[in-house]
Structure 1
Amino acid sequence: MEDVVRAFKGNFLHKEGPQYKWAEFTGKVPYPRPGTCPSSTYGSYSSTREYPDDVIFFSRTHPLLQEHVLPLGERPLLVRVGVHYKFSKLLVDRVEAVDGTYDVLFIGTDSGLVLKAIHLPREHGQSQEVTLEQLQVFQHKSPVTTMALSKKKWLFVGSREGVSQLALYQCELYGQACAECCLARDPYCTWDGHACSPYMPTVRRRNARHLGEEEDPLTQCVRQGAGLQVEAEQRVMMVAEGNSTYLECLPRSRHAAVTWYKQAGENSAELNQVLTGDQLVVIERGVLIRRAELSHGGVYHCQVEEHGYHWTAVSVRLAVWSPSANRVLASLAGLSYQSTGTQPWYEDVMALIHPGNLGEHCKALGYRPPRNQRHRGDFMIAPHKEKAKAEKHKHGGGGGGGGGGGRAAGRKSRSKPQQRAPRSA
Structure 2
Amino acid sequence: MELSTKQQQLYIGSTTGVAQLPLHRCDIYGKACAECCLARDPYCAWDGSSCSRYFPTAKRRTRRQDIRNGDPLTHCSDLQHHDNHHGHSLEERIIYGVENSSTFLECSPKSQRALVYWQFQRRNEERKEEIRVDDHIIRTEQGLLLRSLQRKDSGNYLCHAVEHGFMQTLLKVTLEVIDTEHLEELLHKDDDGDGSKTKEISNSMTPSQKVWYRDFMQLINHPNLNTMDEFCEQVWKRDRKQRRQRPGHNQGNSNKWKHLQENKKGRNRRTHEFERAPRSV
Q: Is TM-score (shorter-chain normalized) higher than 0.5?
A: yes
* Structure 2 Cα separation of the partners of residues 240 and 156 of structure 1: 56
* Structure 2 Cα separation of the partners of residues 301 and 276 of structure 1: 15
Cross-structure match for 2:234: none
CA shift, 1:241, in A, is 2.3
Post-superposition Cα deviations, 1:27-55, rounded to whole Å, max 9, x if no partner, equal xxxxxxxxxxxxxxxxxxxxxxxxxxxxx
Cross-structure match for 1:320: 177
CA shift, 1:296, in A, is 1.8
Are the aligned partners of 2:31 and 2:51 in contact in 1 as well (CA < 8 Å)? Answer: yes
- Residue from 230, 244, 256 that aligns with 2:102: 244
CA shift, 1:186, in A, is 0.8
Cross-structure match for 1:140: none
- Bigger Rg, which one: 1
Q: Partner of 2:182: helix, strand, or coil?
A: coil
Post-superposition Cα deviations, 1:389-415, rounded to whole Å, max 9, x if no partner, equal xxxxxxxxxxxxxxxxxxxxxxxxxxx
Q: Partner of 2:82: helix, strand, or coil?
A: coil
Tell me which protein shows more strand as a share of its residues: 1
1:254 equivalent in alignment to 2:112: yes
Gaps of 5+ in 1: 1-90, 97-150, 159-163, 328-339, 359-425
CA shift in 2, pair 1:95/1:154, >3 Å: closer
CA shift in 2, pair 1:241/1:166, >3 Å: farther
TM-score (norm 2): 0.56
Cross-structure match for 1:41: none
Post-superposition Cα deviations, 1:183-208, rounded to whole Å, max 9, x if no partner, equal 11111111111111221336968211
Are the aligned partners of 2:4 and 2:10 in contact in 1 as well (CA < 8 Å)? Answer: no
Are the aligned partners of 1:256 and 1:304 in contact in 2 as well (CA < 8 Å)? Answer: yes
* Structure 2 Cα separation of the partners of residues 246 and 157 of structure 1: 48
Q: Partner of 2:73: helix, strand, or coil?
A: helix
CA shift, 1:286, in A, is 0.8
Q: Partner of 1:193: helix, strand, or coil?
A: coil
Q: Partner of 1:172: helix, strand, or coil?
A: helix
Q: Partner of 2:35: helix, strand, or coil?
A: helix
Are the aligned partners of 1:177 and 1:195 in contact in 2 as well (CA < 8 Å)? Answer: yes
Cross-structure match for 1:337: none
Cross-structure match for 1:285: 142
Are the aligned partners of 1:274 and 1:282 in contact in 2 as well (CA < 8 Å)? Answer: no
Tell me which protein shows more helix as a share of its residues: 2
* Structure 2 Cα separation of the partners of residues 262 and 207 of structure 1: 37
1:190 equivalent in alignment to 2:49: no
> Superposition RMSD on alpha carbons, in Å?
3.9
Post-superposition Cα deviations, 1:112-142, rounded to whole Å, max 9, x if no partner, equal xxxxxxxxxxxxxxxxxxxxxxxxxxxxxxx
TM-score (norm 1): 0.39
Q: Partner of 2:181: helix, strand, or coil?
A: coil
Cross-structure match for 1:211: 67
1:342 equivalent in alignment to 2:198: yes
Cross-structure match for 1:200: 55
Give the aligned residue type for 1:245. Answer: T
Post-superposition Cα deviations, 1:39-89, rounded to whole Å, max 9, x if no partner, equal xxxxxxxxxxxxxxxxxxxxxxxxxxxxxxxxxxxxxxxxxxxxxxxxxxx
* Structure 2 Cα separation of the partners of residues 168 and 178 of structure 1: 20
* Structure 2 Cα separation of the partners of residues 346 and 156 of structure 1: 65
Post-superposition Cα deviations, 1:271-326, rounded to whole Å, max 9, x if no partner, equal 22222222321112210123322222110011111111112111111111224323
Q: How many residues align?
A: 194
Cross-structure match for 1:307: 164
Cross-structure match for 2:28: 173
CA shift, 1:253, in A, is 1.1
- Structure 1 segment 339-418 matched on structure 2, within 5 A: 341-343=197-199, 351-352=207-208
Q: Which has the higher contact order (CA 8 A, sep 6+)?
A: 2
CA shift, 1:350, in A, is 8.0
Are the aligned partners of 1:303 and 1:310 in contact in 2 as well (CA < 8 Å)? Answer: yes
Are the aligned partners of 1:175 and 1:252 in contact in 2 as well (CA < 8 Å)? Answer: no
* Structure 1 Cα separation of the partners of residues 2 and 210 of structure 2: 54
Give the aligned residue type for 1:212. Answer: R
